Structure 1
């Protein structure tokens, strides 16, 4: 066993502690003990494994502190201690050999500051220390890491201001320092970390404005600055982040109108701007945010009517517009929100019937209350019904108009037919009168001078010549 270089016992259900004899395997370069049920502490004899390059111990139940003897592991490249019950301080000289690339100690009970060995460890590529009780001034604890790609320091107790050094990490793709006590303003130099995909500085004490230089982070798809005290408007340069999928600026002091320039973020899925001081109306351009799935604009100072273009967001799943001063009725286009599963429009000045949409029909009363006059057309029993009389009156007016127009058309038709009939009747009477007059005139002429007529007949028939005989009788 003295020549054993790789020992893999990961992914089993091994119980008990790590034996002291592990230190006798001096040729080990890789020791994988992760994803077991190991307990107890890390034996000091681990420091004898001077050839060890990878030590993976995550997802166990190891307790105690890291032995000082681990500083002897100068060839260490991977040290993964995530999800244990380790306490005390981080190892002081764990990067003494200048080879450490991956160091993860998430979800333990480490306290104190980052040791100098880590601050000057330029070989670091991946660091994850979230969910501990680490503290110290963030501007002094970390250095410049030219190879760093991933840094997660969230859910600790770091304080101080963000330094310019983070913009000098050209390969950094993920920076998460959320849920600490970081203060001061956001350094514009962050815009130089052009490989960033994720930037999460939420739940700190940051103030000032959002630097326009963040618009240079063309690969950014998650930007979370929520729960700080950032002020002023959302810079138009944020609209240049065409790959942005999640934007969370909630719980700040951002003011001005709704940032309609975000319509250029064609991949934006989650937009959270709640608990700010945004004013004005929701622009119709919001209908161009075709990828939106979750929208929260609650607890602002938005006014005006809801744009019907909101109903064009076919992929929208959740919509919270509560605690604003929105007015008017909810557009009927909201019926087209076929993916909507949750909606909250409470504490506004909205009125009129609810859209015939499943999310509105099944919405709890808390999501619809304290408005000016929202009502249900029978589709939501938790809300008062819309006035029936008003609806019938409207229908009656429409019916009366239709009947009136129809009667007028019929009457006009009768008048036209009557006029045509009278004209034709008059023409017929004149023809009959003319024919009668001619007949009367003929017979009057006949009876007036019969002798003359008789003479004319004798002359015309040449004294009744047989040449003019038409036919002969039968007998």
Structure 2
């Protein structure tokens, strides 16, 4: 009996001790969570409302506890805009196995106390604003399998101690500012959007476990090492947007598990290796914007029967299109534009019945537009045959393609009647400029009416009668021609027939523009850019001064820029878009191809000069005041609203900046330079092309939205970001690339931190009314207007697209500010 009582007392004491220990441990977790809440949410009482005393902490939002010990094992909170920091008390959650704080706008450094989480297996702090180095204490978390720190502002070296983390198989560090080496135990490595310099080391071949390897948008140089052929488990290989040179290594053929392979925007040269045929699981291959040459190899792509996307655009590939492309039954997207391919489009391509986007512009293809494009490729949504040498009528069968929403046949030698049904019934969906012998079509095309000749009877004449008829006919035509010339000579030289129009624009020759600009003299030069030079001049055919933008066709992408600009300006008509007068596609006096666009002259130049070129201002005694800057901002916003919402097709400008905002004598603003513009297709304003093409868009440093830098899709929100930077530049008269910016300070951050107390400290001095006792009220009103202007600019240039202000809200706000300024 005594023994039983002693055992009972011992068991009771032990149970009480265990219960007390568990209770104390639970209290530790609860206190840690409450400390976390304060820092995470910046003390906002309405955030995380379930984190209170009325519920057990294991029932709080985003918290998961283990059943046995009731300790926190998972913390999962994402997609908030709290803007707080990570509390060191996190280190007290010692049972934590998964920590996911993604996209909740956290800043500061990752606390060293995270190293106390010895059970941690998954760490995801992506899409925040963490700064500083990756803490070395994290190496204590030896059970980590996944580290995801994408889209932050981390700096320093990629830690060498990652090598010691034998459990680590996923390391995603892209879109930071890191430099350094790699771990050998990984199967998923993403370092996209960092500052990785130098060559790819031979020892990259040691990462034999890799299945995904993404080094997009870094500064890698030199050649792709042959050791990459050892990574036979690779499924996805992304090396685009670096400075890699040399040839694509033939050992690529060893990567037989490869599904996605991207080499866009490097300096690669040589031919496409035929060993690519062994990558039979390849579904998407892109090597656009390189210096690849030679033929597209035979007996290569025909073996890759699962291929869905193929992009070899913007290279120097020559020769015909391989007939074996007909084997690619799953091919959906084929981009071969801006090369030197020739010959006719092979009929075998008609077997690619899954094709949705076929873009062959900017080559030397010839012959007739093949009928199989309409009869076999019934899924086509985008067809671009522009800037080739096709000579034929436009097949009427193209009317019957049910999904075709973009057709570009510009700059060929097409003739005859333009159809009117199907895609041809939408003027914003087709481009036919540069084909001077077309007629008919819908009225909006403004083409000449087709002459309706009676059907000819195919009657044979005897040879003896045939010769006299020719002679008589020739004499008759000569007489008629003489009479016509006599009477036409009496008419004014300003009379032009409908036949002199190109799709509704007055035809001008190289000689016309040469004379108009004094031989394109330096005295007439008013500006120059990457794709061309701009000259001032005058033509009798147009009233007033004109400007002529002459394309530098030797520059890669210049022809594409020319076609894009003509296409946009031909279709988009708005009071705040620069007006296209005409264009010229001809040859110069040396027999070289010549292309130019003619615009109205803007006497006040561009916004860039007015904001920054002091000599220009002083010579004309001109400064733009706050009222004028508001009007300019409103003009540009209305132009963007039209491009994004009110036109028949969504257009993204892709290069909003002060030098592309032109001003007339009344300081009315016009948006110009559409050389990088993109049409978006479909109800969602995106297409497969749009989703993968932002990597090819250069834009202008300082104005390019951050998502384009990491391969994000082109979108109207990208224009909004650039517009926001434009507003902040108008407010401060500081360029986003000013020397004062860097080391964590940007134009956006400068303005954001100046709201509201320091707004007058950052504003352009030209916008501030001199202080005096009589003007205290005026000064305060003006300060409020500057604040409102700054808030719009900051809201538009938010880091994430979803957080940016809509252009319609911008217009509403600017109207309100302008009205307040008028009071």
Which of 182, 194, 204 does residue 142 from structure 1 map onto?
A: 204
State the Cα distance separating 1:324 from its structure 2 match.
0.9
Q: Structure 1: how far apart are the matches of 2:167 and 2:76?
A: 24
After superposition, the Cα gap between the structure-2 partners of 1:363 and 1:288, relative to the gap in structure 1 and judged at 3 Å, is farther
| 2:175 alignment counterpart | 107
Question: For the Cα contact (< 8 Å) 1:215–1:238, is it kept in 2?
Answer: yes
Q: Structure 2: how far apart are the matches of 1:127 and 1:338?
A: 42
Q: Structure 2: how far apart are the matches of 1:331 and 1:12?
A: 51
| 1:339 alignment counterpart | 403
Which of 73, 77, 82 does residue 10 from structure 1 map onto?
A: 77
Which of 349, 359, 366 does residue 296 from structure 1 map onto?
A: 359
Structure 1 stretch 222-231 or stretch 302-311: which is displaced more?
A: 302-311
The alignment status of 1:358 with 2:358, answered yes or no, reads: no
Which of 115, 118, 124 does residue 186 from structure 2 map onto?
A: 124
Question: For the Cα contact (< 8 Å) 1:143–1:165, is it kept in 2?
Answer: yes
Q: Structure 1: how far apart are the matches of 2:403 and 2:97?
A: 53
State the Cα distance separating 1:12 from its structure 2 match.
6.6
After superposition, the Cα gap between the structure-2 partners of 1:192 and 1:357, relative to the gap in structure 1 and judged at 3 Å, is farther
The alignment status of 1:211 with 2:279, answered yes or no, reads: no
For residues 24-173 of structure 1, what are the structure 2 equivalents within 5 Å?
24-110=92-178, 112-113=179-180, 115=181, 118-119=182-183, 121=184, 123-140=185-202, 142-173=204-235
Which of 337, 347, 356 does residue 274 from structure 1 map onto?
A: 337
Q: Deviations over 1:357-407 (max 9, x none)?
A: 432232459821111411124x2431313333xx1423xx57x99xxxxxx
After superposition, the Cα gap between the structure-2 partners of 1:380 and 1:302, relative to the gap in structure 1 and judged at 3 Å, is farther
Contiguous gaps of at least 5 residues in structure 1? 402-475
State the Cα distance separating 1:17 from its structure 2 match.
1.2
Q: Following TM superposition, where does structure 1 have runs of at least 4 consecutive aligned residues deviating by more than 6 angstroms?
A: none
| 1:239 alignment counterpart | 302
After superposition, the Cα gap between the structure-2 partners of 1:285 and 1:355, relative to the gap in structure 1 and judged at 3 Å, is farther
Question: For the Cα contact (< 8 Å) 1:139–1:160, is it kept in 2?
Answer: no
Q: Point out the structure with the larger helix share.
A: 2
Question: For the Cα contact (< 8 Å) 2:399–2:424, is it kept in 1?
Answer: no
Q: Structure 2: how far apart are the matches of 1:37 and 1:373?
A: 58
Question: For the Cα contact (< 8 Å) 1:139–1:161, is it kept in 2?
Answer: no
Alignment partner of 1:82: what SS? coil
Which of 439, 454, 460 does residue 393 from structure 1 map onto?
A: 454
Contiguous gaps of at least 5 residues in structure 2? 1-24, 29-68, 460-823
Q: Structure 2: how far apart are the matches of 1:148 and 1:67?
A: 25
Q: Deviations over 1:247-286 (max 9, x none)?
A: 0000111111122211100010100001111111122223
| 2:314 alignment counterpart | 251
Alignment partner of 1:31: what SS? strand
State the Cα distance separating 1:89 from its structure 2 match.
2.5
Q: TM-score, normalised by structure 1?
A: 0.77
Q: Structure 1: how far apart are the matches of 2:174 and 2:418?
A: 48
Q: Structure 2: how far apart are the matches of 1:274 and 1:9?
A: 46
Which of 244, 247, 252 does residue 182 from structure 1 map onto?
A: 244
Question: For the Cα contact (< 8 Å) 1:11–1:35, is it kept in 2?
Answer: yes
Q: Structure 1: how far apart are the matches of 2:282 and 2:427?
A: 35
Total equivalences in the alignment = 389
| 1:419 alignment counterpart | none
Question: For the Cα contact (< 8 Å) 1:74–1:94, is it kept in 2?
Answer: no
Q: TM-score, normalised by structure 2?
A: 0.45
* CA RMSD after TM alignment: 2.3
Q: Structure 2: how far apart are the matches of 1:350 and 1:19?
A: 68
Alignment partner of 1:310: what SS? helix
After superposition, the Cα gap between the structure-2 partners of 1:338 and 1:20, relative to the gap in structure 1 and judged at 3 Å, is same
